[in-house]
Amino acid sequence: MTSDSTAQTAAPALLEASGLARSFGATKALVDGSVSVGPGQIVALMGENGSGKSTMVKLLSGILRPDAGEIRLGAERVTLHSPRAALRAGIVTVFQEILVAPDLSVLENLWLGNGSPVSGRRARAQRRRRAAEVLGALCPQPPDLDAPVGTLDLMHRQVCAIARGLLRDPRVLILDEATSTLDVTLRDRLFAHIRTLCRSGVGVLFISHRMDEVLSLADRCVALRAGTTVGSVPRSGATAEELVRMVSGQNAGAERTRVRSGGPSSGQPALRISGLRVREDSAPLDLEVGRGEIIGLAGLEGHGQDEFLRVLAGLRAPAAGTASVLSSRKRAAATGYAEIRGYRQAVRQGIAYVPRDRKAEGIADVLSCLDNFSVPTLREDARLGMLSPRRTRGRFETHGRGVNLEPAPGAAVGRLSGGNQQKVILARWLATRPAVLLLNDPTRGVDLKTKHELYDVFERLASEGMTFVMLSTELEEHLSLMDRILVFHGGSCTRELTHADATREALVSAYFGHGEGAALGGERR
């Protein structure tokens, strides 16, 4: 089942992991994981959350040690005691989480842990040069080498993390969802750079949830399911449906092209935006969002869509203009609309915001699912100040069912998969019975199966009258889920596409600020 039969012939695999197993207490995270990367090969490792992918990556990068199985580099068997050992052996990993030291400069981060800390002037000059080279290859506008990394946005921090890996001259490069914050330009440059690396014999192990990335980059796909490698096929032979079936064990239905069937209902719009300028230099935006409508916010990273969403959530004041929500509260103005002025007030008016960074802003990881679910709405369970756990559990079950949530109320949220954590957060906000749900990249780091479950939930809620404004970084989501897509460029909303008009080409060209219908040479998406 795991043999890599059609692979390279005489050359031994650069990295070969076979029969890896690892448990955490009673949980068997990895049972029989195998993967093989030959020189110059790009292998995609695919699997749902809970399939053992991240454990596999941790084993290969030296963060954890396997309970069983072996890892071979070339022909030699190696034991990777720590990330240091893995790095010394030539295995360089870029992790899903963006791991950079904010107080150090870009240059210092790029050379962190690499080479002797003492250096003469010539060595320092050389480091500068090489750092600038790598950054220039990855980034059309590389950040200043002496700027503290803490002042960069998420995308450029991830570029720094990737650049740091590249500067170690890897023999094997492992990229664990390392493109999550990169926009289309940077992603493509990265892929081009990877292909160059492979031509010089570097092997690449590439983990991604995104089918389009896998299809465009990989030579070979390895699928993990429930801790076991269930398939390893050359990319050229496989279709997307086959890959999905391999990964999820289900039929192709999982990657069907969804078609948006619903639409906004008539009547008063749920959100009214007038003259809104997110930044000083943005163009004013006027918009009305109908009840039950699903609006997508799209664009290259950092072009204002995140700020726009935060303005709607009340987390950020706009530079000018107002956003108002149709208020269900009696105290609303005569017009029936309440201007969004602050976070708490927005929540009171029926707006709920699901943040992007689950770990930092979404969950209290050591507390139970019940706590994470109930805190904003605890008032409903209190009689004379005293909480009734029974009532809370009842609400948890009700709203949990609404999002297909399985885990027990007492489980610590930090141990759940990304998808399940997202469900807890969603249940939490659905319990406030919001009229408008603002979602900031909700399916990031969520496996395919859960993604589609969430899409079903969103569509159902929309058909019941809930309004959605969803920032998404995946073209597929925009194309299949949204009634309308607002594309942001340079801080302003420059295009508005309806579901009918939305095509890949139209979207991507809008990302780059090109006019309607302009063809973009070389862009496959």
Partner 1 sequence: MHRLLTSLRSTRLGRFAGSGLVQLLSILVIFLVGRSTVVGYSSASSLRAMSVLAAFLGIAAMGQTLVVLVGGIDLSIPAVIGAGNVMASKLTGQGVSSPVMIAAVLATGLCIGLLNGYVSSRFRVPPLIVTLATGSVVGGAVLLWTNAALTGNAPSWLTGFTSAAATTGPLPLAPVVVLWLVLAAAGEYALRRTRPGRALYVNGVNREAARLMLVSDRAVLSAAFGCSGVCAALTGLLLAGFTGSGLFDVGSPYLFSAIAAVVIGGNSLLGGRGSILRCVLGAAALTELTTLLVGFSLSAAAQQAILGIVVVAVVASYGREQHIGGRI
Partner 2 sequence: MTITQNAAARPLAQAAPRGARIAGAAVRSPLAVVTAMVVALIAADLAVTPTMFSGGHLAGSVNLLVPTALAAIAGVPSILSGGGGLDLSVGPLLGFVNVFAVAVLMPHGLGSGWISIPLCLLLGALGGAVNGALVAYGRLQPIVVTLGTYLFLAGIALVVLPQPQGGAPGWAGFLSGAWLGGYLPHSLVLLLAAALLWLALRRLGFVRLITAVGSDTRAAYTAGVDVAAVRLGAYTIGGVFAALAGLGLTGLIGSGDPTVGPQYTLTAMAAVALGGNALAGGRGGILGPVLGAATLFLIQSLLSALSVSSLWIQVVYGAVLLAAICLNSVVGTATRARPGAAGGA
Positions that interact with partner 1 (CB under 8 A) = 58, 63-64, 95, 97, 99, 343-344, 347, 353, 355, 360-367, 371-372, 374-376, 378-379, 382, 385-387, 389, 428
3-state SS assignment for residue 160: helix
> Does 117 interact with partner 2 (rule: CB under 8 A)?
yes
> Does 191 interact with partner 2 (rule: CB under 8 A)?
no
Site string for partner 2, 48-77 (x = CB under 8 A): -------------x-x--------------
Residue 288 binding: pick among partner 1, partner 2, none (C-beta 5-8 Å cut-off by kind): none
Size of the site for partner 2 (CB under 8 A): 62
Backbone dihedral region for residue 379 (phi beyond 0: left; psi -120 to 50: alpha; all else: beta): alpha
Tell me the closest approach of the beta carbon of residue 311 to partner 1, in angstroms: 15
- Pick the binder of partner 2 from 277, 291, 303, 499 (CB under 8 A): 303
Q: Residues with Cβ < 8 Å from 104, sequence gap 6 or more?
A: 112, 148, 149
Q: How far apart are CA 34 and CA 235, in angstroms?
A: 17
* Residue in the structure block whose two tokens are 């406030």: 432
Contact status, residue 369 vs residue 395, Cβ threshold 8 Å: no
Give CA separation, 413 vs 84, 410, 429, in Å. Answer: 30, 9, 16
Residue 220 binding: pick among partner 2, partner 1, none (C-beta 5-8 Å cut-off by kind): none
The angle subtended at Cα 112 by Cα 38 and Cα 362, nearest 5°, is 85
Residue 522 binding: pick among partner 2, partner 1, none (C-beta 5-8 Å cut-off by kind): none
Contact status, residue 479 vs residue 487, Cβ threshold 8 Å: no
- Pick the binder of partner 2 from 126, 151, 335, 388 (CB under 8 A): 151
Stretch that binds partner 2, among 36-44, 141-149, 265-273, 430-438 (CB under 8 A): 141-149
Contact status, residue 250 vs residue 445, Cβ threshold 8 Å: no
Binding positions for partner 2, 428-467, rule CB under 8 A: 440
> Does 132 interact with partner 2 (rule: CB under 8 A)?
no
Binding positions for partner 2, 389-428, rule CB under 8 A: none
DSSP characters over 62-81: TSS--SEEEEEETTEEE---
Q: How far apart are CA 138 and CA 343, in angstroms?
A: 37
The angle subtended at Cα 358 by Cα 380 and Cα 427, nearest 5°, is 30
> Does 270 interact with partner 2 (rule: CB under 8 A)?
no
Query: Nearest Cα to 447, choosing from 216, 215, 207?
Result: 207
Instruction: Say how many C-beta atoms besides its own lie within 10 A of residue 437's C-beta.
Output: 24
Residue 347 binding: pick among partner 1, partner 2, none (C-beta 5-8 Å cut-off by kind): partner 1
CB nearer to partner 2: give 82 or 498.
82
Residue 136 binding: pick among partner 2, partner 1, none (C-beta 5-8 Å cut-off by kind): none
List interacting residues with partner 2 (CB under 8 A): 61, 63, 82-84, 87-88, 93, 95, 97-104, 108-109, 112-114, 116-119, 140-141, 143-144, 146-147, 150-154, 156-157, 161, 164, 183, 185, 279, 300-307, 356-357, 360-361, 440, 489-491, 512-513
